[in-house]
Amino acid sequence: MQKIFLVFLFCMFIGTFAEASLFDVNTEVSDGSKVSVSKDISDSASTSKKEPKKTNIFTRVAKTIKKAAVSAKDAIKSGASSVKAKAESKIDNIFDKKPKFVAQSYKIPGHDDKKFVCQGITYLSDRVISPASAQKTQNSYPYTVLSFYPTKNTTKPSQLVVLNAKTGKALCRFDLYQTENTPYTGHAGGITLAGEFIWAASGNKIYGFDTKTIIDFTTDDTAQKPATRPTGIPKSLNLPYKKLVAKAIYETDSKASFVSFDGKYLWVGDFVKSSNDSYAPIAHHKSEPFNRSTWISGYLTDSKGMPTSKTSYDYKAGDSVKKGHKPDAVICCRESVQGMSVCDDYIALSISYGANNSKLAFYKNPLSEKGTTISYKPKGQSKTYKTCGYELSDAKNWVETVSIAAGSEDLDFDGKYLYVTFEGGSPNYKPRWSLNPLVNIEEDYYLIEIDKIVN
């Protein structure tokens, strides 16, 4: 039976090569072409030495596949120079090496048990930057912030955790509250620094937490962790902590699956998966002219980082009626987006769904160009609204796509590095996902040098 299963997994790997999942240049196949290179690796695989019977079957499969991949890598080196660097990067990534474009990486705390799952990531200064648009010009940031949602294994609310940016050491955490007496237990699928706020996204809203309060507590040398670890808190998050109540709550025309600030707009986006009814797009988001899956609402902000749009309306989202503010601009793009960030001349997407390796896709930034007018009528409304729309697609502005570990989530860009975090290292996912030797599990968050990808 083991031999049959081994043959099945190996054939699956060969099929993966045939489909060019390791070597494709363009992974968005809905509207773009794909360039691929494949080599016959059967000879290399068939000559690998037989492993001792006591070795775990998945270890044997992984070793066999790794030998085959190394052979393919050598073949690429000798022949297909135009795609050599991309293929090598993907092979390295599959076998748990950090991709060459990762400048720094640090262990994600909170994943030592099943109580919390990391979702969002952003950077933090040691002072409130005003106006908010100026924060992209700072050379470096002393802190990194991660967000976590609570699972059924804890009664604690969602968390913000501040880390030392140079060492990755967790410094303190915040119990998040919507109001003084109402815990915030949302997904916090994305967080972003915008002037006086760190915004957290979930449930069609963004929640603004006071930046100064976070900085003051982080830099308070007298703050001490509790002598006894609070119930419901992982050992790695037994830190000095503070209750943090939202300073502002803003309703969006979006599912608010993720959020990012580019110095001008707060971008609040939908996670959409057409094959799953639970992640179907909001009805009026399908009326945009580009025929894309994902709608990312952009809101202009004031100098404090607060959205300025005052026009609001009710709209249907599934079986619920939500209230949202009209976006000042909209970006439309492919589905399965977990995070988005404007990175100067490029826009980056974090693309991930289930137990598969993730992708980072990069597009030329179209926001300086004249947009396309989007006319839409929210379900249940008689009035038609208009906004300015932009499209990210293979045909228009795609630049590059690279493979990264499974479960990539939020993105943010500090003017130098692109930040990305992962949920795949959580014990809620890792035991199942790691059964597949082709799936790369990452326990660190990354700071990425974009120039090593797009140039």
- Tens of pLDDT, residues 231-243: 999 999 999 999 9
Q: Tell me whether residue 59 is exposed, middle or buried, using C-beta atoms within 10 angstroms of its C-beta: 0 to 12, 13 to 18, 19 or more.
A: exposed
Mean pLDDT within 10-18: 45
What is the model's pLDDT at position 386?
97
Residue 224 lies in a domain: yes
Reported as type and span, the H/E element at residue 289 is none
What one-character DSSP code corresponds to residue 51?
P
The pLDDT tens digits of the residues spanning 85-123 come to: 455 445 554 555 799 999 999 999 999 999 999 999 999
Residue 95 lies in a domain: no
Which residues are paired to 41 by β-bridges? none
Question: Per-residue b/e over 374-411, b at no fewer than 16 CB within 10 Å?
Answer: bebebeeeeeebebebbbbbbeebbbbbbbbbbbbbbb
Cβ–Cβ contacts within 10 Å for residue 277, how many?
8
140 to 128, 198, 304: CA distances (angstroms): 14, 17, 20
Residue 236 lies in a domain: yes
Q: Residue 275 sits in which domain range?
A: 102-452
Mean pLDDT within 337-342: 98
Residue 171 lies in a domain: yes
243 to 188, 237, 426: CA distances (angstroms): 16, 14, 24
Residue 16 lies in a domain: no
How many Å is the Cα radius of gyration of the chain?
Answer: 23
* Helices then strands, each counted (H, E), the chain: 8, 26
pLDDT tier for residue 58 given thresholds of 50, 70 and 90? low
Mean pLDDT within 64-74: 54
- The more confidently predicted of residues 414 and 81 is 414
pLDDT tier for residue 318 given thresholds of 50, 70 and 90? confident
Number of domains in the chain: 1
Pairwise CA distance, residues 183 & 177, whole Å: 4
Residue 363 lies in a domain: yes
Residue 63 lies in a domain: no
Residue 200 lies in a domain: yes
Reference 69, options 99, 100, 48; nearest CA is 48
Average pLDDT along the chain: 86
Q: Which of 27-41, 51-65, 272-286, 352-366 has the lowest mean pLDDT?
A: 27-41
pLDDT at 27 over 90: no
Contacts of 226 (CB under 8 A, 6+ apart): 238, 241
Contact 138, 415 (CB under 8 A): yes
